[in-house]
């Protein structure tokens, strides 16, 4: 990989030389700067520590596949559990009263071995370290954690937002799209009657549900208002010295749970669409939970019909669907044939995971369609490794890129998986052969394919080719005016300025790993 990076840099420098370096255009200056930083990146690739240092400082745009509950680390959940008087026993958080020695506060203060077991139970840390691989799969360990830390999460949404934004700021991210349902939504979804429902009955069921949806949406909005105010206060966002996390822009993706009975799935989806239509903080909808469980497999086509039906009711609401989070041998071959294609037919504008694409019947046609329509895949390298055992050359990331399908790197559930965006960038470089230019393009793509309002800084997904208002200079009056009127362009412009500063800083660094 180091040789490949060196070849890319040499080619870029040769192209610059042939074009005449004396031409002092912004484009030439930017290309020169990127070529020099690519050389430094090639050196950093030789040592994981140097690579981590380099990529930690690199601005990374946005994280478009990030579940709020899963972004919190087990240690935070245990701190909240201790403050709530919860117990830890039999690998779970339990309500009080606690038998002697089992309160989380007592465990944290006096029993580091049991505390370590608690961290492992609430994350995949122990499994990744090989502690529990003989007794449980990465898939089962991952999905079991959500039920285990749920008692500690109640009433702590604001704290979860603080944690997510601080992790993002430390990772040099500018934007988050967090999968999140306020408790008003999740509670009403779970209370749905278990009545029979098929595609023919969707219209009648919608008519029966819609009258009670608006009050729930109102409560959900008020709930989020309170959580965001509390989070902003904890971060000191209105004070003289705000936490750097205050600068991270946050939007939400509402979701439904695919393992519930059909009527509950549909109620949750109606709520998600209605909330996204009414509250601009919710920029899209999704469907989550394991795709391989029996009910999601049985009802997959029905779920896609629900999306098609509700797209007709709420055409302006964006849709990002978890689809193709499956591996060969995990499910019968028939289940691998068309889930991603079905999601596209249901109106998906982004695909989450998309791991089984090579096993779909018309994979080439599907990827050609995604490339043509600008439907990006949210790539979760650590998640796919732990949950599905898919890594390295087995991962379809290179296949997608070879077909021209847009891709964006994402974390999925970074607290559960003990990862962060810097680590995902490292895996892309070390395992997928990403060059510095590839990583830079991924950072740009993460904002280009975000569901942010407003026009893009770039011309028709041509990343690096600015719209007319900004073609001459980022600092021109026309560009400033364009960015002020378009939130997406404003955040993209912020990324470009931060990337330029990062590159200048790397070039001017006098000593350190550059000399390795």
Q: What is the pLDDT of residues 59-110, one digit of tens each?
A: 999 999 999 999 999 999 999 999 999 999 999 999 999 999 999 999 999 9
Q: Are residues 323 and 472 in the same domain?
A: no
Q: What angle separates helix 138-153 from helix 381-388, to the nearest 10 degrees?
A: 110
Q: Are residues 314 and 407 in the same domain?
A: yes
The residue length of the chain stands at 516
Q: How far apart are CA 259 and CA 241, in angstroms?
A: 45
Q: How far apart are CA 470 and CA 476, in angstroms?
A: 7
Q: Are residues 240 and 369 in the same domain?
A: yes
Preceding omega of 97 cis (within 30 degrees of 0): yes
Structural tokens at position 377? 């895949």
Q: Are residues 234 and 379 in the same domain?
A: yes
Total domains, the chain: 3
The pLDDT of residue 79 is 97
The pLDDT of residue 350 is 98
Judge whether 470 lies within some domain: yes
Query: Is 434 in a helix, a strand, or coil?
Result: coil
**pLDDT tens-digit profile, the chain (516 residues):** 445 544 544 444 444 444 433 334 567 788 899 999 999 999 999 999 999 999 999 999 999 999 999 999 999 999 999 999 999 999 999 999 999 999 999 999 999 999 999 999 999 999 999 887 878 999 999 999 999 999 999 999 999 999 999 999 999 999 999 999 999 999 999 999 999 999 999 999 999 999 999 999 999 999 999 999 999 999 999 999 999 999 999 999 999 999 999 999 999 999 999 999 999 999 999 999 999 999 999 999 999 999 999 999 999 999 999 999 999 999 999 999 999 999 999 999 999 999 999 999 999 999 999 999 999 999 999 999 999 999 999 999 999 999 999 999 999 999 999 999 999 999 999 999 999 999 999 999 999 999 999 999 999 888 989 999 999 888 899 999 999 999 999 999 999 999 999 999 999 986 555 554
Judge whether 377 lies within some domain: yes
Q: Are residues 333 and 419 in the same domain?
A: yes
The pLDDT of residue 472 is 82
Structural tokens at position 10? 């040499």
The pLDDT of residue 510 is 66
The pLDDT of residue 514 is 54
Q: Are residues 169 and 314 in the same domain?
A: yes
The range of the structural domain enclosing residue 485 comes to 454-500
Judge whether 7 lies within some domain: no
Q: Are residues 319 and 178 in the same domain?
A: yes
Look-up of token digits 């749920």: 150
C-beta of residue 444 within 8 angstroms of C-beta of residue 463? yes
Judge whether 510 lies within some domain: no
C-beta of residue 215 within 8 angstroms of C-beta of residue 179? no
Judge whether 505 lies within some domain: no
Q: Are residues 96 and 218 in the same domain?
A: no
Query: Is 326 in a helix, a strand, or coil?
Result: coil
Burial group, residue 478, by CB count within 10 angstroms (0-12, 13-18, 19+): middle
Judge whether 6 lies within some domain: no
Structural tokens at position 378? 């949210």
Q: Are residues 125 and 92 in the same domain?
A: yes
Looking up residue 247, the CATH number of its domain turns out to be 3.20.20.140
Q: Are residues 287 and 398 in the same domain?
A: yes
Query: Is 361 in a helix, a strand, or coil?
Result: coil
Judge whether 34 lies within some domain: no
Whether the model clears a pTM of 0.95, i.e. scores above it, the answer is no
Q: Are residues 103 and 181 in the same domain?
A: no
The pLDDT of residue 511 is 56
User: Of 14, 97, 38, which is closest to residue 499 (Cα–Cα)?
Assistant: 38
Give 3-state DSSP helix, strand, coil % of the chain, rounded to 5: 60, 10, 30
DSSP E strands, 327-432: 350-353, 376-379, 407-409
Strand partners of residue 459: 462
Structural tokens at position 74? 């087990």
Judge whether 48 lies within some domain: no
Q: Are residues 199 and 340 in the same domain?
A: yes
């Amino acid at each position: 990989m180091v040789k490949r990076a060196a070849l890319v840099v040499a080619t870029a420098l040769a192209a610059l030389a042939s074009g005449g370096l004396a031409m002092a255009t912004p484009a030439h200056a930017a290309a020169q700067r990127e070529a020099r930083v690519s050389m430094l990146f090639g050196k950093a690739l030789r040592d994981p520590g140097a690579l981590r240092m380099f990529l930690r400082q690199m601005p990374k745009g946005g994280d478009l596949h990030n579940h709020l509950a899963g972004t919190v680390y087990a240690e935070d959940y245990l701190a909240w559990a201790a403050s709530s008087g919860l117990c830890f026993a039999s690998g779970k958080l339990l309500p009080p009263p606690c038998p002697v020695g089992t309160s989380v506060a007592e465990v944290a203060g006096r029993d580091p071995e049991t505390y370590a077991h608690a961290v492992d139970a609430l994350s995949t840390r122990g499994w990744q370290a090989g502690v529990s691989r003989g007794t449980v799969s990465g898939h089962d360990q991952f999905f079991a954690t959500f039920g285990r830390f749920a008692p500690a999460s109640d009433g702590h949404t604001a704290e979860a937002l603080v944690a997510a934004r601080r992790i993002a700021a430390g990772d040099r991210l500018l934007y988050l799209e967090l999968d999140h349902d306020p408790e008003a939504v999740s509670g009403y979804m779970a209370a749905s009657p278990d009545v029979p429902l098929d595609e023919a009955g969707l219209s009648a069921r919608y008519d029966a549900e819609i009258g009670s949806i608006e009050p729930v949406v109102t409560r959900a909005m008020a709930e989020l208002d309170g959580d965001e105010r509390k989070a902003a206060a904890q971060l000191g966002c209105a004070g003289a010295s705000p936490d750097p996390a205050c600068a991270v822009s946050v939007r939400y993706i509402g979701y439904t749970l695919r393992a519930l009975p059909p009527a509950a799935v549909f109620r949750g989806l109606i709520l998600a669409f209605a909330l996204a239509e009414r509250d601009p903080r919710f920029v899209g909808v999704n469907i989550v939970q394991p795709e391989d469980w029996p009910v999601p497999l049985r009802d997959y086509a029905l779920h896609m019909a629900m999306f098609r039906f509700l797209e007709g009711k709420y055409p302006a609401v964006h849709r990002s669907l978890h689809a193709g989070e499956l591996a060969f041998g995990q499910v019968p071959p028939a289940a691998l044939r068309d889930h991603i294609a079905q999601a596209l037919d249901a109106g998906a504008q982004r695909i989450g995971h998309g791991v089984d694409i090579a096993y779909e019947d018309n994979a080439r046609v599907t990827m050609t369609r995604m490339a043509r329509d600008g439907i990006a895949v949210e790539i979760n390298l650590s998640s796919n490794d732990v949950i599905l055992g898919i890594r390295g050359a087995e991962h379809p990331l290179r296949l997608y890129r070879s077909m021209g399908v847009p891709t964006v790197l994402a974390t999925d559930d970074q607290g559960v998986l003990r990862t962060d965006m810097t680590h995902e960038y490292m895996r892309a470089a070390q395992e997928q052969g990403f060059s510095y230019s590839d990583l830079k393009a991924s950072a740009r793509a993460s904002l280009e394919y975000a569901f942010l309002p407003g026009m893009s800084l770039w011309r028709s997904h041509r990343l690096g080719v600015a719209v007319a208002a900004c073609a001459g200079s980022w600092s021109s009056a026309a560009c400033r005016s364009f960015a002020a009127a378009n939130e997406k362009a404003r955040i993209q412009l912020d990324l470009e300025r931060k990337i330029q500063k990062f590159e200048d800083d790397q070039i001017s660094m006098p000593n350190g790993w550059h000399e390795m």
